[in-house]
């Protein structure tokens, strides 16, 4: 998120303060929500209430540990794309999105004739061979629903600032 976006946010100053204070992590102490409250001069009950509300609103997906997939050996990821008839995209998208090695599964708009693909999925594996194998498996799973497939491996990160506020 860029600075220019701050003026139109769907949250108030208290939420924003909590987001800013915890986006790099929750304090590692026995009462982390109290610690957040103390730093921000907000009652810990309010911190917990706001966090619960943000969970309900989907602003917080969940509170959790995030494994380093590189350290865990998942060093290969390919952006796989398929051309699926619009009438079948919801069913197939849900199936592919439920696979445990798939993240970021979306339907996106096509640009015919240059770019016929409308189903996007990031597929993760321990090496290129295993990622390729998983992508082939998905293509097989799609069967006749897939009218075409491409895999785009990343060669280089050109910019990575992430969404932060």
Among residues 136 and 152, whose Cβ is nearest to another protein? 152
Paired tokens of 148: 């075409």
106, 127, 137, 147: which one binds another protein (CB under 8 A): 106
Contact between 116 and another protein by CB under 8 A: the answer reads no
Which of 51, 84, 135, 142 binds another protein (CB under 8 A)? It is 51
CB of 40 to another protein, least distance (A): 14
- And the tokens for 12? 């108030």
Per CB under 8 A, which region of 16-24, 127-135, 138-146 contacts another protein? 16-24
Angle at 83 between CA 78 and CA 89, to 5 degrees: 100
Q: Which two tokens stand for residue 93?
A: 């998208």
| Cα gap 139→142, rounded to integer Å | 5
Q: How many CB atoms lie within 10 A of CB 66?
A: 6
Q: Is 112 in the site for another protein (CB under 8 A)?
A: no
113 part of the interface to another protein, by CB under 8 A: no
Residues in 64-93 at the binding interface with another protein, rule: CB under 8 A? 64-69, 71-74, 79, 89-90, 93
Tokens standing for 60?
A: 């917080």
Q: Does 141 bind another protein (CB under 8 A)?
A: no
Inter-residue contact 82 to 142 (CB < 8 Å): yes
């Amino acid at each position: 998120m860029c600075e220019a976006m701050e003026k139109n946010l769907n949250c108030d100053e208290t939420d924003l303060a909590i987001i800013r204070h915890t986006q790099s992590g929750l304090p590692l102490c026995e009462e982390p929500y109290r610690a957040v409250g103390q730093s921000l001069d907000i009652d810990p009950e309010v911190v917990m209430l706001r966090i619960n509300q943000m969970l309900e609103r989907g602003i917080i997906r969940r509170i959790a540990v995030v494994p380093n997939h590189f350290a865990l050996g998942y060093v290969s990821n390919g952006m796989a794309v398929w051309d699926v008839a619009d009438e079948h995209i919801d069913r197939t998208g849900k199936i592919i999105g439920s696979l445990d090695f798939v993240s970021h599964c979306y339907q996106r708009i096509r640009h015919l004739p240059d770019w016929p693909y409308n189903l996007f999925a990031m597929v993760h594996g321990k090496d290129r061979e295993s990622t390729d194998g998983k992508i082939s498996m998905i293509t097989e799973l799609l069967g006749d629903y897939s009218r075409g497939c491409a895999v785009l491996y990343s060669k280089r990160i050109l910019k990575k600032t992430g969404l932060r506020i």
